[in-house]
Amino acid sequence: MSTERLTAKRKAEILNSVKERYRAVASDPTGHFCYPVGRESAVGLGYEPEWLNAVPAEVVDRFVGVGNPFSVRRPVKGQSVLDVGCGSGLDAFVAAALVGADGRSVGVDMAPEMLEWPKRAVAAGTLGNIEFREGSVEELPFEDESFDLVISNGVLNLVPDKDAAFQEMHRVLRPGGSFAAADLLVVASIPADVLTDVDAWST
């Protein structure tokens, strides 16, 4: 949705609405969206079965992405990947497997309730090349030029300040790095009542 002329108060309202939505999704991912979620969604979007089988079920079940960023750019062994708005962490786990032990996969999300699931999985597993942090795509908690690839799945449409988000993703990419996103796009006019509905940002 458009971020034109949003006041600081309005941005805060939008972020709070998004956080509330994903707190609910962390508890139960069903019934919040008009599209499939979980394994059904991932399979339909072209995620390879071996990827999904290697990820803890509770992570896969909470997948609410809208596309498959790996169909745009697949990381290679040894690369460093950042998943912005990682949610339950499915894409970060897939990236960790693809980059191997010499690579690095990091997921960042502003909803701590969503991060509980991948953090539990990391603590219980044997992967040493993956981590999850709380943070905002508008203010990423990483040094400049830290990653070879930044991915995003159904997240940028939720961000009030898209200019800041793109600047931050560019900042943390190394020279020659790549950005791969799957997201929702507006292809028609948005009705006025939707534009004024803060909850519309998170559905």
pLDDT, average across residues 150-179: 96
pLDDT of 2 > 50? The answer is no
pLDDT of 174 > 90? The answer is yes
For the chain, the average pLDDT equals 90
CB atoms within 10 A of CB 66: 17
21 or 75, greater pLDDT: 75
Q: Which of 27-41, 70-84, 98-112 has the lowest mean pLDDT?
A: 27-41
pLDDT of 142 > 70? The answer is yes
Percentage, residues of the chain above pLDDT 70: 90
For 52, residues 6+ apart whose C-beta sits below 8 A from its C-beta are 39, 42, 43, 60
Question: In angstroms, rounded to a whole number, what is the distance separating the alpha carbons of residues 145 and 42?
Answer: 30
Q: Which of 119-128, 155-164, 178-187, 190-199 has the lowest mean pLDDT?
A: 190-199
Given a contact cutoff of 8 angstroms between Cβ atoms, the answer to whether 67 and 183 are in contact is yes
pLDDT of residue 192: 66
**Which H helix or E strand runs over 42?**
helix 38-44
pLDDT of residue 194: 59
Q: In DSSP terms, which residues pair with 178 in a beta bridge?
A: 149
Domain ranges, ordered by start, for the chain: 8-202
pLDDT of residue 72: 95
Q: Which of 22-31, 84-93, 162-171 has the lowest mean pLDDT?
A: 22-31
pLDDT, average across residues 16-22: 86
pLDDT of 119 > 80? The answer is yes
DSSP code at position 136: B
Name the residue among 115, 153, 94 with its Cα closest to residue 25: 115
The phi, psi pair for 108, rounded to 5°, reads -130, 135
Identify the CATH number of the domain defined by range 8-202: 3.40.50.150
pLDDT of residue 1: 46
pLDDT of residue 90: 98
Q: pTM of the prediction? A: 0.89
Name the residue among 98, 198, 87 with its Cα closest to residue 148: 98
Per-residue model confidence as pLDDT tens digits over 43-72: 999 999 999 999 999 999 999 999 999 999
pLDDT of residue 3: 45
pLDDT, average across residues 130-146: 97
